[in-house]
Amino acid sequence: MTEYENAIEIKGVTKYYDGFTLDNISFDVPKGCIMGFIGQNGAGKTTTIRSLLRITDINSGEIRLLGLDHIKDETAIKKRIAVVFDELPFHDVFNARDMARIFEGMYPEWDNAAYMQYIERFQLPVKKKIGQFSKGMKMKLQIACALSHNAELLVMDEATTGLDPVVRDEILHIFMEYLQNGERSILMSSHITSDLEKIADMVTFIDKGKILLTGYKDEIIEQHGIIKCNKEKLQEIDSGDIVSIRTNNFGAEVMVNDRENASYKYRDCVIDPASLDDIMLYYVHRDMKEWS
Amino acid sequence: MKLYTSLIYRELKLTRKRFFLMLLMFLLLSLMMMTPLILVFISKPAEGEESPLEMIPLFVGIVALTGGFLAGTNNGLQKADISTGWKRYSFVLPPTAKQQALSDLLIKLCYILFFGLLSAAFELVYTAAADYNKFGNKLYIYMLNIYLGAVCAVMLVDIAYSYILMFAKDKNQLKVIGVIAFLGAGVILKVFGLFADVKNEMPADSDSLISETAFNRLEAVLLSGKTTLCIFAAFALICALFFLAMWRSHERREP
What is the pLDDT at residue A235? 83
Closest-CA residue to A80 (of A114, A44, A62, A106): A106
Structure letter (DSSP) for residue B52? G
Task: Using a CB–CB cutoff of 8 Å, tell me whether A154 touches chain B.
Answer: no
Establish if B232 touches chain A: CB-CB under 8 angstroms. Answer: no
Euclidean distance between CA atoms A156 and A158, whole angstroms: 6
pLDDT at B147: 93
Beta-carbon-side half-sphere exposure of residue B22 (alpha carbons within 13 Å) = 21
Task: Tell me how close the Cα of A165 comes to any Cα of chain B, in angstroms.
Answer: 26
d(CA A132, CA A177): 29
Rounded to a whole number, what is the distance in Å from the CA of B93 to chain A's nearest CA? 6
At residue A202's C-alpha, the angle toward residues A199 and A207, to 5°, is 110
Position A203 confidence tier, pLDDT thresholds 50, 70, 90: very high
CB A1 within 8 A of CB A17: no
C-alpha span between B97 and B89 (Å, rounded):
13
Contact B95 A91 (CB under 8 A): no
pLDDT in tens, chain B (255 residues): 889 999 999 999 999 999 999 999 999 998 888 877 777 767 666 666 666 667 778 888 899 999 999 999 988 888 899 899 999 999 999 999 999 999 999 999 999 999 999 999 988 887 776 666 666 677 888 889 999 999 999 999 889 888 888 777 676 777 787 787 778 777 876 776 655 554 554 555 555 666 777 777 777 777 778 888 999 999 999 999 999 999 999 988 887
* CB contact burial A109-137 (16+ within 10 A = b; e otherwise): ebbeeebbebbeebebeeeeebeebeebb
Question: How many Å lie between the alpha carbon of B165 and the closest alpha carbon of chain A?
Answer: 17
* pLDDT more than 90, % of chain A: 64
pLDDT in tens, A240-289: 888 999 988 878 889 998 998 888 888 888 899 999 999 999 998 888 76
Residues 6+ apart with CB under 8 A from B237: none
Model confidence over A174-198: pLDDT tens digits?
Answer: 888 888 888 899 999 987 888 888 8
Is-contact B164 B177, C-beta < 8 A?
Answer: yes
Q: How far is B169 from chain A (nearest CA, A)?
A: 11
Distance CA A282, CA B193 (A): 65
Give the mutation candidate from A78, A86, A115 for the B interface (greatest B CB count, under 10 A): A78
Kindly provide the ipTM of the predicted complex, given to two decimals: 0.90
d(CA A252, CA A167): 37
Q: Domains of chain A (ranges plus CATH)?
A: 6-220 (3.40.50.300), 224-291 (no CATH)
Please tell me the predicted confidence (pLDDT) of residue B199.
52
pLDDT at B195: 56
Query: Does A19 reach chain B within 8 Å, measured CB to CB?
Result: no
Provide mean pLDDT across the span A146-156.
94
CB contact under 8 A, B3 and A106: yes
Query: Dihedral sign, CA of A98, A102, A105, A111?
Result: negative
Pairwise CA distance, residues A267 & B239, whole Å: 78
Comparing CA positions, the residue from A219, A283, A291 lying closest to residue A256 is A283
| Cβ-based contacts of B82 with chain A (< 8 Å) | none
Closest CB to B96 among A75, A89, A91: A75
Asked if the C-beta of B164 comes within 8 angstroms of chain A's C-beta atoms, the answer is: no
How far apart CA B154 and CA B68 sit, in angstroms, is 8
Using a CB-CB distance cutoff of 8 angstroms, which residues of chain B are in contact with residue A22? none
* Dist CA A111 CA A121 (whole Å): 15
Rounded to 5 degrees, what are φ and ψ at A274?
A: -105, 145
Q: In a 10 Å sphere around its CB, with 0-12 CB exposed, 13-18 middle and 19+ buried, how is residue B97 labelled?
A: middle
Question: Number of Cβ pairs closer than 8 Å across A and B?
Answer: 67
| Residues in B 14-53 with any Cβ partner in A closer than 8 A | 14
Q: Where are the alpha helices (DSSP H) in chain B?
A: 2-32, 35-42, 56-72, 77-84, 86-90, 97-130, 138-165, 171-200, 212-222, 225-251
Q: Nearest-CA residue of chain A relative to B15?
A: A93
| Chain B residues within 8 A of A106 when measuring between CB atoms | 3, 6-7, 93-95
Q: What are the pLDDT digits (tens) for A39-52? A: 988 899 999 999 99
pLDDT at A229 over 90: no
- Pick the residue of B78, B81, B92 with the most A CBs within 10 A to test the interface with A by mutation: B92
Q: Do B6 and A105 touch (CB under 8 A)?
A: yes
The distance from CA B40 to its chain's CA centroid, rounded to whole angstroms, is 31
pLDDT tens-digit readout, B46-70: 666 666 667 778 888 899 999 999 9
Q: How far is A79 from chain B (nearest CA, A)?
A: 5
pLDDT at A89: 94
Chain B CA closest to residue A145: B93
B153 CB-near residues (< 8 Å, 6+ apart): B68, B72
Comparison of pLDDT for B155 and A290, the residue scoring more: B155
Residue A93 and residue B14: Cβ atoms within 8 Å?
yes
Residue B238, pLDDT score: 95
Find the CB nearest A89 among B4, B13, B84: B84
pLDDT of residue A80: 95
Check CB contact under 8 Å for B94 and A93.
no
Q: How far apart are CA B73 and CA B63, in angstroms?
A: 15
User: B5, A105: Cβ pair inside 8 Å?
Assistant: yes
pTM: 0.85
